[in-house]
Every structure is written in C-alpha cells, then in structure tokens.
Amino acid sequence: MKSLVVYFSWSGNVRAVAKEIQNQTGAVVFEITPETQYTNDYNALLDIARTERRNKARPAFIGSIENLDEYNVVYLGFPNWWSDMPMIIYTFLDEYDLSGKMIAPFCTSGGSGFSNIIKAIKSAEPDATVLDGLHVRDGGGSSSNRAVSNWLGKLNLVE
C-alpha cells in the first residue's frame, strides 16, 4: 500500500508525530502550510481558532498534492483546537476527495483527545474508510514513537 502523511502543525508537536509515522511507514509527507501564517502567541491563537471555528472559515494553504489517486492510505494529522480540527484541515477535506481511501487520523492535544473529530471526518469524507485514530498528548516525546508503532500495528498498516 502506498501511503501519504498530510498534516498541519502549529507548535511542532503534530510535525514530530508525522515524521515518526513517515519513519515507520516510508510514507510521502505533505505539510499543510497556511497561506497566512498563524501568530506565535498562544493566547492570540486561541482567539483566532475560536473565531475561525465560529465562522466556519476555510483558511487557504500553500502547495498541492500531486497524484493523490496513487495513495491508498492517508494519515491525517492536526492539533485539537477547541475540541475540533483546525479549520485549515476542513479546507483540505473540501479541496481533496478521499473517496475509496483509508484515512488514519492522528492528533495532539493537552488532553481532549478526538472529541467529535472522527465523526466530522466521516461526514466530510463519507466515501472513505476512517480508521481508529491516534491521540498523542502534547509532544509525546519518545513515548509517541511507541504509540505510533502500536497504533500502526493495530491498524495492520505496516509489514
């Protein structure tokens, strides 16, 4: 199976998990990079994220994925913002049709897990198979490497 890791990372925590998934699977990586960068100020970011969510914003991102049809599995990573995916992930899901693909979501947060995010992904991509997700608390450090390995093993996505 050919796989793709698609992720958005504000603080670097999701990026670290995405890189570990790439290391363990050999997947190609596409980082969702906002056209307009978010602030580095965490408190200001919370306000921006809340406003984007309330307005159902669709922030633009830079770049595109070539030959999406070649991939069977899409690992989709993001931080949990206000019990939801950042709205830029919704932009990605609006722009790309993942029908017929397996979506393996992963997120980082201070403790909220997936909330209702799996349901939102299934709603956005009704013709895809959404697999059990991986939640990593904050950065996770070396424990995230084991968590990724265990998760991939449960999903039976790595030989």
Residue 84: which domain range? 3-155
Phi and psi of 62, rounded to 5°? -90, 140
CA 143, 146, 151: angle at the middle one, nearest 5? 125
Q: Model pTM?
A: 0.95
CATH number of the domain to which 132 belongs: 3.40.50.360
Of 142, 105, 80, which Cα lies nearest the Cα of 5? 105
How many structural domains compose the chain?
A: 1
pLDDT digits (tens, 9 = 90+) for 38-90: 999 999 999 999 999 999 999 999 999 999 999 999 999 999 998 899 999 99
Alpha-carbon distance 101 to 88, whole Å?
20
Most confident of 83-97, 101-115, 137-151: 83-97
Alpha-carbon distance 111 to 120, whole Å?
19
